[in-house]
Chains A and B, each alone.
Chain A
Amino acid sequence: MSMQKYIVKRIFQIFLTLIIIMTIMFILFRMMPGDPTAFMLDTRMTPEHKAIIRAQFGLDKPIWYQYLFYLRNFFRGNFGRSFYYARPVYDLVKEKLPATILLWTGAYIISYSLGITLGKIIAWRRGGKLEFGSTLFGLFFYCMPIFWVGLIALWIFSYKFGFFPLGGLKGPDVWSDPSSGMLLKAYDVLKHVTLPLSVLTLAFFAGSMLVMRTSMLETLREDYIMTARAKGLPEKTIRDRHAARNAMLPVVTTFAIAVAGSVGGGVLTETTFSYPGLGKMIVDATLTFDYPLAQASFLFIALLVLVANLVADILYAYLDPRIVY
């Protein structure tokens, strides 16, 4: 199958892209001002002591040696030890990755389903109240800084009314109690994830909705829509089967672009809600000059974006029979 060949080719491309990203990251972190040892070392330590610690982390070696070492280790799945937590980075990433995948993919799935459905409806009933309302509502959250919306949401729903916890992902009272069942734990996670997920969804959905609306308006002028009407098909079938299916194609294209652009939103949301994901870890690691941890988190986020792009490409080929890879 040519599709399988295409996927193999794309995975190879992803691999190459990752090497480039890793190189850029390596250079970037070494260019940052400050010294990682300053954070973990006591000022009262002797220079000899400092040197020993630096040697332990390989920071005394020449830069090219560090680079090659860094590449080799990455491909062996050895991401080094976090300077700050003094734990293997691999373990830390493994802990945080599921939380990030839950929040980000959740937000994408909900915001795109919502955006596509709303965009479809408001284009079909053009000029209605719903169009005005949802465009205004969507654009408001699209333009507002995500951390501001997040803080307001926290203030209203968590602080004032106490509907949701103030942050985190797992409530300690539920998770430390051995008698808590799966259902209770799931409910606890849901309660924690609702606010950050809603904020991220609100920030994302307007984009897909407006693209879908425009694309739908264009599709409705196509001749096959006239054919569908002439066949005597009911309105809903024309809208969903004939128009929306075609109108979705540009939305998938913009998805691939939007994923890269929305990483910032994800990082900010995680930070605002003290959400224990990769995004928050990146910020913490950067602030503490935790090179290995920051590099690994960046790399995994880059990998998420690349995988999302691959998914978009495969989805596109599935939706449009004219696309042959």
Chain B
Amino acid sequence: MKILEVNNLRMYFSTKKGDVKAVEGVSLEIGKGESVGLVGESGCGKTSIGISILKLLPDNGRILEGEILFKGDDLVPKPEDEMRSVRWNGISMIFQAAMNALNPVYKVGDQIVEAIMLHEEVSKEEAYERVAQLYELVGMSPERAENYPHEYSGGMKQRAIIAMALACDPDMIIADEPTTALDVIVQDSIIKEIKKIQAKLDMTMLYISHDISVIAETCERIAVMYAGNVVEYSDSVTLFASPLHPYTNGLLSSFPSIKGPLKKLNPIPGEPPNLLNPPTGCRFHTRCPFAQRLCKEQVPEFREFQERHYAACHFAGELSLR
């Protein structure tokens, strides 16, 4: 069963210089209990997809076309008040803690209780009881719910935010760079926590990160994004073993492997394009070592090559990658 299905989503930001084409024809499906990683360079539109799903766009952002089916129900035409009941109750979000995702003037426990009381008919005592359980679930002492955010360390804030995301027992969680600002040791413990909870609650997750190694550790399936497009989508094992898109290949060769033999890294030459004025055809053609004339002229279709292995490349399967 599919929890989320995004079809041909197009989302632009209007700026003084013109439209920033942040998300262009993105399709994605997530089954129940699956964890999907969304990986790509900074500014490629990962977060834009995340906030489009919850329709938390800033004033200058708009969805031009496409569908976002959440349990079969299209969210795109839904008005604000109906979206409010989907938020947190249906789909919740784990934010980056270092970025002040918690309000500094309220006790952390109260901020979680606020979300519970908003979506469920429970008494204050029951809500606080739930907070205590959630704190134990994320490996924190329940008394800490009485503290203010500034009394927490970075890792504790992140745990509290995870607890908050789980508060209303959502059908799906979007985790937007949840470990990016943490040091590697704390990052590791948070990732372990997320994996543990994911397995325990059979959580459906969309995990957004620029770090493919974090994604590989947490997700069963990986979607690779480049300049507003999802260029490849498959299960993690296949993606690492036999990528179909040259960008995925480039991304994999820019990361060192700890276990394998020592190789010289092969970074992708050039820079990601400006989304105000993206390249014609395949947006990757300006940096692609295999680019032909066709790539410049025609937008490649996002096709299914093997079962649930999609790629958007004219020459997918014909190139010798990896």
| Nearest-neighbor residue (CB-CB) of B147 within chain A | A321
B103 to A227, Cβ gap below 8 A? yes
Contacts A231-B114, A232-B119, A321-B148 given; indicate if A223 touches B101 (C-beta within 8 A): yes
B88 to A232, Cβ gap below 8 A? yes
The reply to whether the CB of B35 lies closer than 8 angstroms to some CB of chain A is no
Q: Return B71 CB to nearest CB of chain A, in Å.
A: 16
B84 to A232, Cβ gap below 8 A? yes
Residues of A within 8 A of B114 (CB): 231, 233
- In the complex, which range does the number of interface residues on chain A fall in? 10 to 19
**Which of B89, B103, B105 makes the CB contact (< 8 A) with A228?**
B103
Q: Which residues, 167 to 197 on B, are CB-close (under 8 Å) to A?
A: none
Number of A-B contacts defined by CB within 8 Å: 65
Give 1 or 0 for each of A231-252: 1 = CB within 8 Å of chain B CB: 1111000000010011000000
Residues of A within 8 A of B85 (CB): 232
B87 to A232, Cβ gap below 8 A? yes
The reply to whether the CB of B27 lies closer than 8 angstroms to some CB of chain A is no
Contacts A230-B87, A231-B115 given; indicate if A322 touches B101 (C-beta within 8 A): no
Residues of A within 8 A of B18 (CB): none
Q: Which residues, 81 to 136 on B, are CB-close (under 8 Å) to A?
A: 83-89, 92-93, 95-96, 99-105, 114-115, 118-119
B87 to A321, Cβ gap below 8 A? no
Q: Return B102 CB to nearest CB of chain A, in Å.
A: 6
A232 to B118, Cβ gap below 8 A? yes
Bound-state Cα–Cα, A191 to B114, Å: 45
The reply to whether the CB of A8 lies closer than 8 angstroms to some CB of chain B is no
| Nearest-neighbor residue (CB-CB) of A245 within chain B | B105
A231 to B87, Cβ gap below 8 A? yes
Among A223, A234, A319, chain B packs the most CB atoms within 10 A around the CB of A223
The reply to whether the CB of B54 lies closer than 8 angstroms to some CB of chain A is yes
Contacts A230-B87, A233-B114, A233-B118 given; indicate if A321 touches B104 (C-beta within 8 A): yes
B89 to A230, Cβ gap below 8 A? no
Residues of A within 8 A of B164 (CB): 227
| Nearest-neighbor residue (CB-CB) of A235 within chain B | B80
Residues of B within 8 A of A226 (CB): 56, 95, 101
Give 1 or 0 for each of B142-167: 1 = CB within 8 Å of chain A CB: 00000010100000000000001000
Q: Return B117 CB to nearest CB of chain A, in Å.
A: 11
B84 to A234, Cβ gap below 8 A? yes
Bound-state Cα–Cα, A93 to B148, Å: 46
Bound-state Cα–Cα, A223 to B176, Å: 12
**Which 8 pairs of residues, A with B, have the shortest CB-CB distance?**
A232-B87, A232-B84, A224-B103, A223-B99, A321-B148, A223-B100, A231-B115, A230-B93
Chain B residues in the interface with A (C-beta under 8 A): 54, 56, 83-89, 92-93, 95-96, 99-105, 114-115, 118-119, 148, 150, 164
